[in-house]
Amino acid sequence: MIDSARLLVLKAAYMMDTVGNKGAKSEIAMIKVLAPVMAQQIIDWSIQAHGGGGVSDDFAVAQLWAHNRTLRIADGPDEVHRNAIAKIELSKYASLHGETLDMPVTRS
């Protein structure tokens, strides 16, 4: 799970360096969803392993969960990035039939 996010981050960074941000927009949207969701699950497991202490101030895990949770909203909520990914993928096939799809604006 961690490795899948790590590899996708590396792919997105490689594409940003080689084909630019526009060419990497699909991978950028993917890591903006995948990395925080992955981290959220890992931190949640950590809270569970700590038991009641995991939701207290005795350990940092509850604070980490709350901080990480903001990453699924800031810079566009997950839904916006998921919609962007779907439209980019669908546009590949729509263009085969001479159709065009309006691309979403994920940041102003």
Ligand X SMILES: Cc1cc2nc3c(=O)[nH]c(=O)nc-3n(C[C@H](O)[C@H](O)[C@H](O)COP(=O)(O)OP(=O)(O)OC[C@H]3O[C@@H](n4cnc5c(N)ncnc54)[C@H](O)[C@@H]3O)c2cc1C
Binding site for ligand X (CB under 6 A): 70, 73-77, 79-80, 83
Output the furthest CA–CA distance in the chain (Å, rounded). Answer: 59
Question: Is the Cβ of residue 75 or residue 99 nearer to ligand X in the bound state?
Answer: 75
Cα dihedral 85, 86, 89, 95 sign: negative
- In the complex, what is the shortest distance from the CB of residue 82 to ligand X, in angstroms, rounded to a whole number? 8
Q: Which residues of 10-29 are buried (b: 16+ CB within 10 A; e: fewer)?
A: eebeebbeeeeeeebbbbbb
- In the complex, what is the shortest distance from the CB of residue 91 to ligand X, in angstroms, rounded to a whole number? 17
Question: Is the Cβ of residue 24 or residue 80 nearer to ligand X in the bound state?
Answer: 80
- In the complex, what is the shortest distance from the CB of residue 71 to ligand X, in angstroms, rounded to a whole number? 8
Question: Is the Cβ of residue 18 or residue 34 nearer to ligand X in the bound state?
Answer: 34
- In the complex, what is the shortest distance from the CB of residue 55 to ligand X, in angstroms, rounded to a whole number? 21
Question: Is the Cβ of residue 46 or residue 83 nearer to ligand X in the bound state?
Answer: 83
